[in-house]
Amino acid sequence: MANSPHGGILKDLYVRDEPIQAQLAAEAATLPAVTLTDRQLCDLELILNGGFSPLEGFLTQPEYAGVVHNSRLPDGTLWTMPIYLDVDQAELTRLGVAPGNRITLRDPRDDQALAILTVADLYTVDRAVEAEKVYGANDQAHPAVHYLYHNTRDTLVGGRVQAVNAPQHYDYVAIRRSPAEVRALFRKLNWTRVVAFQTRNPMHRAHRELTVRAARTRHANVLIQPVVGLTKPGDIDHFTRVRVYQAIMAKYPNGMAQLSLLPLAMRMAGPREAVWHAIIRKNFGATHFIVGRDHAGPGADSQGRDFYGPYDAQELVLQYKDELHIEMVPFQMLTYLPDTDEYQPINEVAQGVCTLNISGTELRRRLKSGAPIPEWFSYPEVVRILREANPPRASQGFTVLLTGLHASGKEPIARALQVALNQEGGRSVSLLLGETIRQELSSELGYTKRERDINVARIGFVASELTRAGAACIAAPIAPYDAARQLVRQQVARVGGFYLVHVATPLEACIENDRAGVYQRAIAGEIKGFTGIDDVYEAPANPDLVVDTTRTAISQIVHEIILLLERDGYIGDR
C-alpha cells in the first residue's frame, strides 16, 4: 500500500471544501483580492491538493519562526521550508487587510479565484536570518537568497485557506496528478513499494540506469516526478524537458515506471530542500526517495565555493529518517565504462579503469555547436528533442545593437549590414532604426531620461522576440544610457546572440554630418535635452566592437561585424 502522508492525514482541501465550494466561490467574488506571484501559485496548488501536508495555509509568524530556526512547526512536526504569502504593505493598506479579515487569492494568469485566506497575522520577513538559517549563507549568489532580496515583499500574511478552484493548466494535463490521484494510480497498478525520483533536468542514460538500479535493489516500481514549476534560473524549459521524459519512459521495462509532473517552486536549498522533497514524495504515496549527489544544490557561492557539500543532503535526510518514514535511496554519480559498455557508481569503479562523462556545460556546448552527442550518453530520441529546442547557432537568432550619437553613422551601417545579412541568407533580417521606432512604437514619448529608457526597453522587447524566432535584428537607436543598454543585452542574450557596437564617431564629425541642422538648433537652445549637447551620452564600458566612421569605411565596419558573427557560429558553414 502507499505510504501514509506526513502528519498522518492527507490535507486535500479540495475534498474537504467541496461541499461548500459554491458558497465559497460566491464569497470570493465579494472579498478584497491579492494576485499571486508565480512562486505563490505553485505553493498554493500544493497546499490545496495536499502535496504540502500537513500545511493548510501559508505560515503564520510562530510557524515561520519555528520552521526557519528549528525546521519544525509549533506542534513539533518536521517541516524544513518556509511557505509564506508575501504582499506589499501598500497593497495591504489599500485593501484594508487586518487579522480576522478574509481575502481572495487569485491566479496571476487568468484572475481566477483559487482560494480564500482567513488572515491570522501580518508580520515582516528578516531576510538575513532566513538566508543564513534556511539557505546556509546570506549570499545573493544563491538564487533563493537573490529572490529573497529582490522579489520577496516585506510583509508576510499568515493564515489558513479554503479551496475555491484548482489552477487551470493547459499543458500535459493527463500527467499532472494530485497526491490523491497518484495514490489511486498506485492502488490500480497494485504498486506497494515505490521509489520516487525528482529531477529538474533532462534525463539521459545514466538517469535511467540510476532509477532502474534503485528499483532493482528495493524491489520497487519507479515514480518519475519532475518539477515543472519554478527551478533554477537558466534551466531548460519544462516543455522541452517533459518531451524528453515522455521519450525516455519507453526505455523502461513495461510496467516498471510512471511519469507524473510536480508543480513545485524549488528553492535550491540543498539539505533542507532534500528533506522537504522527501516529505512531498511521502505525501504522494512513495515509500522510497532517491537522493543523489548535490541534491537541489545551487552551485557556487560568491567566493567560488559550493554552497553545500556533495552529500550534505543525504546526511540530513538520514538524520531525520525516523520521522520521515520514507526510505532514502542514496546514489553517487554514475560514470560510463566504455570497455564493458555499462554505467557504474563512481565510487565502485576500480582504479585505472577507463571512464567517460559529459558534463552539463559540455552538453550545452555540443548542443549549441551541433557537435555529436554519443549514444552511450543519451538516447537518439532525447538528443533530437534537445536539438530541436537548442538549435546550433547557425539556426539561432541574434541582435546587433548599434549605439552612438545622432548622425554618427549608425543608420548607414545598419542598412549596409542588413544588405550583407540578406545576401548571406538563412534567416529573415529586421531593421529597427531609431526614428522608425519613435514613429511606430513610441510616438507618445518625449526625451526625458525615463522616456528614453522606455523607448530603448521597447526596442529590446521587439529585438528579443525577433531573436527568439530565429531572425537577425539590427537596431540603431542613440540609446544614450548604459543601464538601459545592459537591460536589452540581458533580455536578448536569454534567447540568442547579442552584439553591442559603439559607433564612436566624434561629436564634431556628427555635427558636420548633420544635414538637417538639429545640432545647430540644440546649440542655439531651440532644442533642450539633446544628446551630446546638453544631455549626456554614456559610452559603453564593454562593447563588442568600437568603430568610428571618420576612420573606417562603412564596408569595413560591416565586415568586422560579419567576422564577429562568423566567429561565434551565427553565420557561415562550419
- Catalytic pick from 183, 200, 272, 281? 200
Contact 46, 79 (CB under 8 A): no
Query: Is 384 tagged catalytic?
Result: no
**Rounded Cα distance, 31 and 24, in Å:** 11
**Rounded Cα distance, 478 and 531, in Å:** 8
**Across the chain, which distance is largest between two alpha carbons, in Å?**
87
Q: What is each CA distance from 266 to 23, 47, 238, 295, 298, in whole angstroms?
A: 34, 15, 13, 12, 10
Q: Which of 308, 293, 282, 144 is nearest to 225 (CA)?
A: 282
**Rounded Cα distance, 44 and 50, in Å:** 10
Query: Is 199 tagged catalytic?
Result: yes
Q: For residue 276, what is the enclosing H or E element?
A: helix 270-283
Query: Is 390 tagged catalytic?
Result: no
Q: Which of 304, 280, 314, 403 is nearest to 7 (CA)?
A: 280
Cβ within 8 Å of residue 275, ≥6 positions away: 71, 78, 80, 316, 317, 320, 324
- Catalytic pick from 77, 199, 283, 531? 199
Amino acid symbol at 87: V
The neighbouring-strand residues paired with 147 are none
What is the chain's alpha carbon radius of gyration, rounded to the nearest angstrom? 28
- Catalytic pick from 152, 192, 201, 355? 201
Give the cell for residue 557.
565596419
**Rounded Cα distance, 347 and 274, in Å:** 22
Q: Which of 223, 241, 234, 212 is nearest to 277 (CA)?
A: 223
Catalytic residues: 199-201
